[in-house]
Each structure stands twice: as structure tokens, then as C-alpha cells.
Amino acid sequence: MAIISSKQQPIEPDPKPKQRRESKDDRKTPKASPKLDLLQPTATSDETDKLEEGLRPQRFADYIGQKDLKTVLEIAIKAAKGRGETMDHLLLYGPPGLGKTTMALILAAEMGTTCKITAAPSLERPRDIVGLLVSLKPGEILFIDEIHRLTRMAEELLYPAMEDFRVEIAIGKGQSARTRSLPLSPFTLVGATTRVGSLTSPLRDRFGLIHRLHFYEPEELTEIVLRSADLLKTPIDREGAEEIAGRSRGTPRIANRLLKRVRDYTQVKNLGKIDRKIADEALEVFNVDPRGLDWTDRKVLSVMIDNFKGGPVGIETIASATGEDVQTIEEVYEPYLMQIGFMLRTPRGRMVTPAAWQHMGYK
């Protein structure tokens, strides 16, 4: 069970390993100091958290975009504080990269509490979810990512926890089995999902606040790029930020990623301040065109145009022709192509629109 708390935890020393008898060879060979073992096969959670936390806004005043959601949450927070209660449970849904985790962390900061972060796939066994619920402190926020992937058992354990702040556990087996109710500290559950339709009605109806996160406007993404560049100490002008924002697919996560790639390009080429021309050159190197399409997006469109005259063509045929699997095309590439009007989904199959023909350079 993976749990991350927004409160920094002290680093505990590793337990001493079991000692064994030293052989003559061991006495002759000098032992390497553990301090010199600097190589790690993967980034630790602290390292990844620092990279992400550096660009995350900490308060609503710093959060750009999602005005409707901010207004609703600010009212809910003030009302809960005025009554001295915890805020209603919150369900956030929408495409990935729009700031669901960031919103939960800001909510905890505004409420003056901490936030425990976990993912639904890590809550496989009943004791995982029970142990997590019992450990919550009064007023604390529990953030569950991909909440639609909760097991049936974990979901049923959440029902009384969300409504009555208690959890039912079974003790013993057979005829001696009995049920015990454990009281829980009042808490706020924040669930995040990219598939709100996959949630069962009983779980969805227990959230007092349900809100969708929308794609960001180019102006909002421009402000996000400028803010991130300032935090990264990367010189950039507004036109350069607009160029990056225009290729970010309406998603802050992509905008920050592209900014870092442009920063790397500028640093290596020693080009100085990022402007529109430098941003365009850098993003062309990384195969991101002015509409935010990458190599695979253009491959899907070109295959449909060259091999099938723009369609209609079945999704399995597209997958076979491009070498991608069906699920990747349906969940990663197709939604954005449909969003910008480059692809249509019809009963006969997928079709390329005239706008896509023009963008790809076909007449």
C-alpha cells in the first residue's frame, strides 16, 4: 500500500544488518563505506516529490484556471471553517494532467491540515483500507487517485466511513465470527478519476461535491508557463510562453514538460532568453508541431489519409497499420484528435476531417 503524506516525515535510519563472522579474506579486503553508495536504480519518492512539488501552486491565489471549481471550493471551505466541521467529500474527474492532485493539496493547505495521498490499485486487501482510515487524524484529507479502480471490498468499507465515520471489521471465522465497529476521526475524502462513469452509483452518490476539471485556455496556459519559468529561473518572454502554451493540448502537465525540454535545448545551444523563434525551433526538434501533435498523432492521420483515403476505417485496422494497440489509440491519441476536430468517429469507422487534411499538407 503506497501512501504519501503532504507533511514531511523525518528520515529514519536503516536498521543494522545481521552480523556474520568475518573470514580472513574479509579482514584483508577494505569494506566500502555506505556513504559512497550514491547510485540508485530508480528515483526515490523524495526526489520525484521535489521535482513535482516545485511547480505546484500551494494556495488558491496561485492556482491558475478552473475558476468555477475554485469558487465552489472557496465557499465550501469558508462554510466548513465557520461551522468547525470537515468539508464534504469531493470527487474530481476529468482528463489526466489537469491538476486533481494539486487541488487536493491546496484544499489541505487552505483547511490548515495535511493530505494523505494513495492510489486505488494499492488498496487491494481490506486491511490496507482499514489501516489507512484508522490512521487518519481529525480533519485530515485522504486523496485516492484512480478511485474507479477500487476493489468491491474496499469500496464497501468506504461507505460507512464516508457517511458515519466508522468502519466495520469482521473478527474470527465461522460460528464465532463477529462484527466490530471502529470509530474514525472526521475526515474529508477527495477522489480523483479519469472515468467517472466507471464509479458505482452508491459510491458516487456519497460525495457531497462532484466537479469536472476542464481543459485550460491558451491564455491560462501562458500564465502557467510564465510562472513555472520563474520558479525554474528560466528567462522567457510572453511570446515564447505563448508558443509553448499553444502546443500543450490544454494541459498544464504537458506545458511544464515542454517548458523543461525547451529550457534544455536553450541551455545546450547557449541561446539565452527563450522567445517565440527559439521555442518553435526547440519544439520542432522534439517533434511537437504547432497544434501539439507528436509523431504518433501525425502517423495515425497520415496512415488514414495515405492508405484509406481519409476513412472511414476501423480502429483495429488503424492499430495494425501504425503498430500501436487499440487501447492506446482510443485512450491517448484519439481523444485529442477529436477534440481539435481532426478526426470523426462514425458508425462505419474513423474519418479524417478536411481540417486535418489541410494541417497535414494534403489538398
Per the CB < 8 A criterion, the answer to whether 350 and 343 are in contact is: yes
Distance CA 337, CA 292 (A): 10
Residue closest to 161 by CA, chosen among 127, 135, 184, 128: 184
194: annotated active-site residue: yes
**Catalytic option among 128, 145, 275, 280:** 145
- Residues with Cβ within 8 Å of 47's Cβ and at least 6 positions away in sequence, in order, are none
Per the CB < 8 A criterion, the answer to whether 329 and 300 are in contact is: yes
Burial letters 253-280, b for 16+ CB under 10 A, else e: bbbbebbbebbebbeeeeeeebbbebbb
327-334: list long-range contacts, CB under 8 Å, 24+ apart: 329/300, 333/296, 333/297, 333/300
**Catalytic option among 114, 151, 194, 322:** 194
345 is in an annotated binding site: yes
**Catalytic option among 86, 101, 251, 353:** 101
Per the CB < 8 A criterion, the answer to whether 245 and 225 are in contact is: yes
**Catalytic option among 86, 100, 280, 353:** 100
165 is in an annotated binding site: yes
Per the CB < 8 A criterion, the answer to whether 196 and 91 are in contact is: yes
Three-state secondary structure call for residue 195: coil
Distance CA 249, CA 322 (A): 22
* φ/ψ of residue 166, rounded to 5: -150, 160
Q: Is 17 left (phi over 0), alpha (psi -120 to 50) or beta?
A: beta
317: annotated active-site residue: no
296 is in an annotated binding site: no
206 is in an annotated binding site: yes
Find cell 484512480 and name the residue.
Answer: 146
164 is in an annotated binding site: yes
**Catalytic option among 116, 247, 249, 253:** 253
Three-state secondary structure call for residue 313: strand
56 is in an annotated binding site: yes
113 is in an annotated binding site: no
Distance CA 292, CA 246 (A): 7
Per the CB < 8 A criterion, the answer to whether 136 and 186 are in contact is: no
Amino acid 36 reads L
84 is in an annotated binding site: no
* Sign, CA torsion 162/166/167/173: negative
128: annotated active-site residue: no
How is residue 14 written as a grid cell? 536503516
178 is in an annotated binding site: no
216 is in an annotated binding site: yes
Binding-site residue positions: 55-56, 97, 100-102, 163-165, 206, 216, 253, 345, 350
Tell me which residues are annotated as active site.
Answer: 100-101, 145, 194, 253
Binding-site residue positions for Mg(2+): 101
Binding-site residue positions for DNA: 345, 350
Binding-site residue positions for ATP: 55-56, 97, 100-102, 163-165, 206, 216, 253
